[in-house]
Amino acid sequence: MTKLSLGPVLFNWQPEGWRDFYFRIADEAPIDSVYVGEAVCSKRQPFFEPFMPEVIERLINAGKEVNYSTLALVMTKREAEIMADLADNADLMVEANDLSAVSHLSGKPHVIGPYINTYNEGTLNYFKVRGATRIVLPSELPSSAVEIMAGCDIDLEVQVFGRLPLAISARCYHARSRNLHKDSCQYVCGEDANGMDLETVDGDAFLSVNGTQTLSHSYYNLAAELEDLSDMGVNIFRLNPHPVDMVAVAQCYRKLLDGNLEVADANENLMKLAGGVPFANGFYHAQPGVDYMPGQIGTE
């Protein structure tokens, strides 16, 4: 059975808005598996923690599988202690986004997140024998690599919508853009609910900055490739949250997976929902990631 998943919110949204977003996902979205938790910057975490219990309860009561995502970059003793406590004591499935989390989760069922470079079947099997029950593949993998790993008898999750997480840094470019230091950032990343766009020297939008994280400017869209991925054996398809109607986005992908919507109609609907942000699927086709080839599947 194919499942739709929703990755963790990567942006610094207002806490009450963050809570209400998940409430609506619980009540209205055809999502099977939901990730919560702060994956980008530990400084944001205290703002969301007060709402976490009621968000998790609402999602579970709605029949969603709930997973807790760890930080993608653990740098300080405090962050290491938070991560270790989560890995050792969480009553939810944990998505490890940093190798330090993997060491704590060894021997327990867990998810390997997209920030860990699972690029081949050898790495996949290394994690599998240590307890991983699901691997979220890095989005830069071409279809040929996905197909090889789909034969390794483990649940595979692939991002099919949203900006791609490309890099994470010890420094905060968002703060630097306002002439601030990371330690006194004033949480300026909260001013850009969908990330801060960067342009090339020619003035073309290219990347998006989210605190310490670099994202693609384009939304990755593998609507045309869903059937191809399903045929390979991929069974979980991830949507990354954005300040758009994510319930409508989820409904669109669910209809595609169920065979109740044509790809061309899905792409037209998604284009309207994306609000002018362009699409990309180049990585899947072993082309530059920013490229978009609508309607093409799996040929390289």
User: Per-residue pLDDT tens for 10-55?
Assistant: 999 999 999 999 999 999 999 999 999 999 999 999 999 999 999 9
- Mean pLDDT, residues 246-261 taken together: 97
Model-level pTM? Answer: 0.95
> Could you please report the per-residue DSSP string of 131-176?
TEEEEE--TT--HHHHHHHTTSSSEEEEEEEEEEEEEE-SS-HHHH
**Structural domains of the chain ordered from first start:** 3-165+218-285 (3.20.20.70)
What pLDDT is stored for residue 294 in this prediction?
79
Closest CA to 65 of 118, 111, 112: 111
Block residue for tokens 């994280």: 213
Contact 181, 85 (CB under 8 A): no
User: Per-residue pLDDT tens for 75-92?
Assistant: 999 999 988 888 887 789
